[in-house]
């Protein structure tokens, strides 16, 4: 048994990067609003380590508003080619602005422009309207760097529980659970 879930996650993610045909960094993000109504969607893991698992989004999106009202979340990585999954549950905090600025600067110009043009999760009258907004933003920043919008940033899920699930024959799956215990982790097994 390992005592550091982050080292095990690094190993599993490296395996997924070698075998998954699409987006090994894709993860389901589950949130709930202030009334505890759940919502789940796919996002991309952009960085991770002992401090947590980081993704970026529009703060005014449904997930941004839900996280502002209820700063707890669950993540799920499912790597079908490996017959593995990782479940993560914890609190959510904002990633540092400097980290959000650096990641935003690394995105393609089209993605940067799209972050300005989109009122993410809001009703859209027509695709033509969104394309017109995109063209207006492209014109506004023509020949200039595109700054990070003030309503766009990063979130870090700080894990309290991390479960590693491995498929085994006859539904005798292996479930390894790490639970935060002070500054360290307590590890055990769960029945499948």
Q: Known catalytic residues?
A: 171
Write 171-179 long-range contacts (CB < 8 A, 24+): 176/1, 176/8, 178/5
CB 48 within 8 Å of CB 90: no
Q: Which pair of tokens denotes residue 25?
A: 């960094």
Q: Which pair of tokens denotes residue 36?
A: 């505890």
Cα angle 90-88-74, degrees, rounded to a multiple of 5: 65
């Amino acid at each position: 048994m390992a005592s550091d879930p982050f080292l095990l996650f690094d190993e599993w993610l490296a395996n997924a990067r070698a075998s998954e045909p699409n987006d090994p960094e894709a993860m389901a993000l589950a949130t709930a609003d202030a009334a505890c109504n759940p919502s789940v969607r796919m996002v991309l893991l952009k960085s991770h380590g002992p401090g947590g698992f980081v993704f970026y989004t529009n703060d005014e999106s449904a997930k941004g508003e839900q996280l502002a009202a209820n700063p707890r979340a669950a993540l799920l990585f499912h790597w079908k080619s490996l017959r593995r999954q990782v479940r993560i549950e914890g609190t959510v905090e904002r990633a540092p602005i400097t980290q959000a600025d650096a990641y935003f600067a690394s995105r393609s110009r089209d993605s940067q422009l799209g972050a300005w043009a989109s009122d993410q999760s809001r009703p859209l009258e027509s695709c033509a309207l969104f394309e017109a907004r995109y063209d207006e933003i492209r014109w506004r920043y023509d020949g200039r760097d595109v700054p990070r919008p003030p309503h766009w940033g990063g979130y870090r899920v700080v894990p309290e529980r991390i479960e590693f699930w491995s498929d085994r024959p006859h539904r005798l799956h292996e479930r390894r659970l790490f639970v935060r215990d002070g500054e360290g982790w307590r590890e055990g097994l769960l029945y499948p």
